[in-house]
Structure 1
Amino acid sequence: MRRNRIKGVVKKLFLIGTSLVGIMFILIAVSIYLWQNTDEGRLPAKTAVVLHAINNNLVPLDLDISVPKIVSGGSSGGGNPLLREDLYIPVQDANVQIPIRIYRPQGEGPFPIVMYYHGGAFLEGFGDINTHDNITRQLAARTNSVVIAVGYRLAPEHIFPAAIEDSYAAILWAEENADTFNGDIERISVAGDSAGGNIATVMTILSRDREGPEITAQVLMYPLTTFQDIPLESRDIYDSGYYLLSRSVMYRARDQYTPEEIMWLSPYTSPLQADDLSGLPPALVITAEFDPLRDEGEAYAKRLAEFDVQVQATRYRGVMHGFISLYEVMQTGQYGLQEVSAFIRQANQDSLHITTPYQLQVRQPPQGFDRVREQTESFAIAAYLLGRTGVNLFTR
């Protein structure tokens, strides 16, 4: 009799537990479904979860989310441990010094050099060499290159052309001091994201105009390419800031970095409208579907091609501005980082194979096993967030 009673209690507890698990599963599934449906289009589950977490301040922007290792999207890049060095270098006739961070492989080299320019709207407090450390470290490991992150001066204290002059001075410094870090001055590339993408391509124009170092390749990740007022559909559609870049920030950047309208006309701020883009190095231009800067990045890629510059352009569907920085939790970020690394390696080996005439490639969201992994991670992250926020999880 007592044994039957115990069995009955166990059965009830099992049913209660099963019901709670079912309710939790439904809660997570409904939450993700709600986040996926936006006025601008339906988002993949992982993008929706990540954006919800960031925009509701549930996790810091670096997404330090604890998820099971079995579903972790990051990878170390492998290879030998890197050497790191933080320095200050002179700019502006040696009257000013700016910080740089060097990651380089071990060994004698000489290794190719990649000058990296961080994003952050050209503004103090929005980005620096620390906020983009994960990208620069990975690029060094994945391309077997010396990567130099440049801490150019920022607005509002330092307006255009301070950031440009600092960035170019860093290239000249790297060329003059390559022997100290086993760098190869015959293979210098530039790379950057967002505002840094603007600076990276401007470096190729400036180096051409000043007969400076010959740049091997340029990698532009969701770059800002114009400060001028021209119709750009993506700027209108994705201007709310929900996709990690807002119209208000873009206007603030323009007002503080280029406070005089005449500055907007310069090819060194608005390369999209530059009169001459000939003679520039091969370019990789990466854009994101849900990004206010999407259209101008793609327009710039097309315009480079019109000047017979080799261009590889890829739009990644289902992701937002800055997605490559989130490669540790987003598989599409991994795809982007892989494309960037492969492009730099091929450029250094003089083995780029770029299809002509110009064609924009559209990369679909993860499929197959990667899609299953993304869905699993989305549930794991949503469960983590639910444990922290409860019913507030439903709000966008």
Structure 2
Amino acid sequence: MSTGQYRPVPYDPELEPGLAAFLDLVERIPLRADTILANRAHFATIIPPVEQMVGDLPVEVEDRTVPGPPGAPDVVVTVVRPRGGVTDAPALYSIHGGGMVLGNRYFGLAGLVEDVLRFGAVGVSVEYRLAPEHPAPAAVEDCYAGLVWLAEHADELGVDRGRIVVTGASAGGGLSAGVALLARDRGGPEIAGQMLMCPMLDDRNESVSTRQYDGIGAWDRNNNDTAWDAILGPLRGTDEVSPYQVPARMADLSGLPPAYLDVGAAEIFRDETTEYALRIWATGGQAELHVWAGGYHGFAGFSPDAEVSRAAGEARLSWLRRILRAT
């Protein structure tokens, strides 16, 4: 590898304290095949209890057990609604991050609660099976099953079926893209939009941006290798991988709902996110792409007060307002 050829893009100086905090809190244990379970246990300790995330906010939170994929276990989802219920409300279907090897449906729930109140929406966060115990396509099929349940129970939940947005960050962004592809190819449910935040889309891990952040930063190339090996096993890198679990492998990106793609310029997923947007545009589809200068993986969450993080948050909310109004 040439150091000059793959020199990393500098981080925004205002983001560097947040990056250090990310690495200290989240990536304290290097993620390798033999440390996935230890990382998973550590990851669980940094997710606040639901009661703490909700506090005295005017929302109702409940867990539901819903039918899983054919021949697979049931799926658990957490439903968040404004207190007192809603009618004809938009729905935000949230898929958590964690490389498809870590995390649970409560990861990111605080942000979902904020959006539920901001938009008068119903939020649904899905629990999916993790690799390596449950390799592909278990995760994306669980997420699709939860979306089917949401659409089928829209009236009961007070949801407008025409205003369901699928959203996720990192692994959740990749799974959101996969769910949108499954919904297209299986004839539904209808999705109003797909919000793909720093999405994990490509198992090949060969882009310039993955090489720029090999051993550097949050969720580096080594972490990505570990996760994709766990998810795909011996199929990784072959033409036999499921394009629903690895959306960058899907040959045809036409006919998809409008997409919002958001990524930092200083992280491994920059190039695959940009390429995915280019390929959607090439089919005549709708995509809005934001590449944030100096942004590390997940920068908006760990550096919320930085100028670039505020800009990213405003752009995300602007797209959501436009999508939910347009539908």
Both proteins in one fold, TM over 0.5? yes
Name the residue aligned to 2:107.
131
- Match of 2:167, SS state, is strand
Pair 94,272 (structure 1): closer, same or farther in 2 beyond 3 Å? closer
Correspondence list, 1:361-380, <5 A? none
Name the residue aligned to 2:34.
none
Q: Say whether residues 1:114 and 2:111 are aligned partners.
A: no
Provide the TM-score with structure 2 as the length reference: 0.82
Name the residue aligned to 1:43.
11
Correspondence list, 1:238-277, <5 A? 238-240=213-215, 242-261=216-235, 262=238, 265-277=241-253
In the comparison of the two structures, how many residue pairs are matched? 295
Name the residue aligned to 1:205.
181
**CA displacement at 1:95 relative to structure 2:** 5.3
**CA displacement at 1:134 relative to structure 2:** 2.2
- Match of 1:290, SS state, is coil
Is the 1:258–1:264 contact (alpha carbons within 8 Å) kept by the matching residues of 2?
Answer: no
Correspondence list, 1:1-396, <5 A? 40-56=8-24, 81-93=58-70, 96-106=73-83, 107-123=85-101, 126-228=102-204, 231-240=206-215, 242-261=216-235, 262=238, 265-326=241-302, 328-350=304-326
Paired AA for residue 309 in structure 1? G
Distance 2:72 2:279 in 1: 37
Distance 1:92 1:57 in 2: 34
Distance 1:341 1:102 in 2: 21
Distance 2:25 2:257 in 1: 40
Distance 1:59 1:220 in 2: 22
**CA displacement at 1:296 relative to structure 2:** 0.5
* Bigger Cα displacement from structure 2, 50-59 vs 173-182: 50-59
Paired AA for residue 185 in structure 1? R
- Match of 2:265, SS state, is strand
Distance 2:183 2:19 in 1: 38
Is the 1:135–1:325 contact (alpha carbons within 8 Å) kept by the matching residues of 2?
Answer: no
Distance 1:251 1:264 in 2: 18
Distance 1:168 1:63 in 2: 24
Paired AA for residue 91 in structure 1? G
**CA displacement at 1:347 relative to structure 2:** 0.8
- Match of 2:97, SS state, is coil
Identity percentage of aligned residues: 29
Measured against aligned partners, the alpha-carbon deviations of 1:261-287 in whole angstroms (never above 9, x if no partner) come to 247643213322322111101111001
Is the 1:118–1:127 contact (alpha carbons within 8 Å) kept by the matching residues of 2?
Answer: yes
Paired AA for residue 224 in structure 2? M
Paired AA for residue 310 in structure 2? Q
Distance 1:225 1:345 in 2: 25
Is the 1:46–1:330 contact (alpha carbons within 8 Å) kept by the matching residues of 2?
Answer: yes
Paired AA for residue 273 in structure 2? G
Distance 1:146 1:321 in 2: 27
* Structure 2 runs not aligned, ≥5 long: 1-6, 29-42
Pair 94,317 (structure 1): closer, same or farther in 2 beyond 3 Å? same
Distance 2:20 2:112 in 1: 26
- Match of 1:51, SS state, is helix
**CA displacement at 1:203 relative to structure 2:** 1.1
Rg: which structure is higher? 1
Is the 1:143–1:341 contact (alpha carbons within 8 Å) kept by the matching residues of 2?
Answer: no
* Aligned-residue CA RMSD (Å): 2.7
Pair 300,58 (structure 1): closer, same or farther in 2 beyond 3 Å? closer
Is the 2:47–2:106 contact (alpha carbons within 8 Å) kept by the matching residues of 1?
Answer: no
Measured against aligned partners, the alpha-carbon deviations of 1:238-260 in whole angstroms (never above 9, x if no partner) come to 121x4210222111111111113
**CA displacement at 1:59 relative to structure 2:** 11
Name the residue aligned to 2:37.
none
Pair 143,324 (structure 1): closer, same or farther in 2 beyond 3 Å? farther
Is the 1:103–1:146 contact (alpha carbons within 8 Å) kept by the matching residues of 2?
Answer: yes
Pair 265,90 (structure 1): closer, same or farther in 2 beyond 3 Å? closer
- Match of 1:215, SS state, is coil
**CA displacement at 1:63 relative to structure 2:** 11
Pair 282,59 (structure 1): closer, same or farther in 2 beyond 3 Å? closer
Measured against aligned partners, the alpha-carbon deviations of 1:161-191 in whole angstroms (never above 9, x if no partner) come to 1111111100110011122321111211111
